[in-house]
Structure 1
């Protein structure tokens, strides 16, 4: 116990953050400390372990061999201490806080109404701040600590981002009935000849549909590109436009009596709609409660 008596346990928490983030600023965000304070702690840790721990290589910081050897035993030790000291139960009705979520208006319509009702009923002290961003921006904001949770499609998340599938989704095409054959949909040739609407945060976005077309050496004309899922459907009536989107974005067809839904004449596989968070938030009881609440607010398909 002599070594433990001579060690400030707060330094071990800082070491844990530094080993996970490999970045002083992000470790400071994780710890809710200033960057100079974390830099000072790193200097102390380097003296304590007689090792630089983090070194610059190729424009970024990497762990030394000594630091890599510390990762697992430090994780095990801190996990054991956390379990020893943590409260036996988490009570959402007593918790207070604010969570920052990023999601599109597509997810807002599907997830937010039941989620807000659930939070107001079970955890009225929790506040939700909603923003909208593209996929890359969401991942960057999670890493930088600017977001707590993001909802979207994350096929190749970074190693420090955890994801959980909420439901499976599939693409559907829609068009004005008057602009379609009497029965059925469109052939691939006819579909490609039509002007299309694309829902994306940026006009130059490469979504799953564009990726599938490019793989076959095909292109479509994007007559309208906009970031609003709900508005996109309303643009179709009285035009020759075609919209291909995730099925849940359309909602009940009784709301769109002049439109017809049909299967896209292109192989567009089902995809996973997910929630994503940084590993630093994985064991936070309130954050875990919110993730479970979100998962319970959507119906898998």
Structure 2
């Protein structure tokens, strides 16, 4: 009975405010997110501080930095609100409704999934609009965490606790090269030739440590990167007529033709897991669940 009375004394809206403050780390942005006035959010924060007997946030510049107590609450709070939304929100999403989804993906991901996705949306759900942006892997994770986008599509080796991933498909690496420009006579891609050759690295923002290079470094090996560029779609066209080698996901190399050759890497490389990631607080969102089911079917096909 005592616990029930304590629950009656708690305004559950305060937990929604706390969740928004954790996500935004800014008072006015949290107020905008909640469609509340800034004084109302300040008042709610003061009540939360009294209720939890902790300052919850400290000001650093223009940001509200979470205290240790707030960090401890972040994951259980997100999961609790997700369960509450599951109970209170409609069980299904109506694809005939108007809705806007914000997605981040590399051009590799968009080239694989976006054509099929747009065909489905125009046929089944013409009222749904998409905004697709491209960013580095770290920026996509941050945008999901901050609530700036609904989900991101890509390869994510590590994620914060509040972000979850669903693997859409797995792929393997392949090497694209122009055999006419390799040392002659060319008799296949050997490990020695692989490490002697110059390579193309695709990275959105300059030089970056890819899964390939981290894997090679663990074996105390390195390759020479002769070109770094941000576009998967352009990279294959730069191989023809050069001694450059592009090591990339096999699916991204399908358009290769002419005199180019696609071969297996001469050494073992990790499997590529292509995933959709979203914030844990959004996993009960019927609209997002519907979109994920569509993406899942496209990826499977």
TM-score range, shorter chain: 0.7 to 0.9
Aligned to 1:61: 66
Aligned to 2:113: 111
Question: What are the Cα deviations for residues 40-78 of structure 1, in whole angstroms up to 9, with x where unaligned?
Answer: 21112334x26236255999423549x968986996588
How do 1:76-225 residues align onto structure 2 when only pairs under 5 Å count? 79=83, 82=85, 85-94=88-97, 96-180=98-182, 185-225=188-228
Q: Provide the rounded CA distance (Å) in 2 between the counterparts of 1:235 and 1:138.
A: 27
Q: Is contact 1:194-1:221 (8 Å) kept?
A: yes
What SS does structure 2 have at the residue aligned with 1:230? coil
Q: Is contact 1:111-1:298 (8 Å) kept?
A: yes
Q: CA deviation at 1:269?
A: 1.8
Q: Which moved more, 1:119-128 or 1:189-198?
A: 119-128
Question: What are the Cα deviations for residues 242-269 of structure 1, in whole angstroms up to 9, with x where unaligned?
Answer: 11101110115xx512111111122202
What SS does structure 2 have at the residue aligned with 1:229? coil
Gaps of at least 5 residues in structure 1 are none
Q: Which moved more, 1:279-288 or 1:32-41?
A: 32-41
Gaps of at least 5 residues in structure 2 are none
Aligned to 1:235: 238
Q: Which moved more, 1:8-17 or 1:193-202?
A: 8-17
How do 1:26-41 residues align onto structure 2 when only pairs under 5 Å count? 31=34, 33=36, 37-41=40-44
Q: Is contact 2:103-2:130 (8 Å) kept?
A: yes
Q: Provide the rounded CA distance (Å) in 2 between the counterparts of 1:249 and 1:70.
A: 38
CA RMSD between the two structures: 3.3
Q: Provide the rounded CA distance (Å) in 2 between the counterparts of 1:296 and 1:176.
A: 35
Q: Is contact 1:105-1:230 (8 Å) kept?
A: yes
Q: CA deviation at 1:184?
A: 5.2
Q: CA deviation at 1:150?
A: 0.7
Aligned to 1:284: 285
TM-score computed with the length of structure 1 as normaliser: 0.83
Distance 1:154-1:31 versus aligned 2 partners, 3 A rule: farther
Distance 1:161-1:88 versus aligned 2 partners, 3 A rule: closer
Q: Which moved more, 1:68-77 or 1:273-282?
A: 68-77
Of 48, 51, 54, which residue of structure 2 is paired with 1:52?
Answer: 54
TM-score computed with the length of structure 2 as normaliser: 0.83
Q: Is 2:285 the counterpart of 1:296?
A: no
Q: Provide the rounded CA distance (Å) in 2 between the counterparts of 1:70 and 1:154.
A: 21
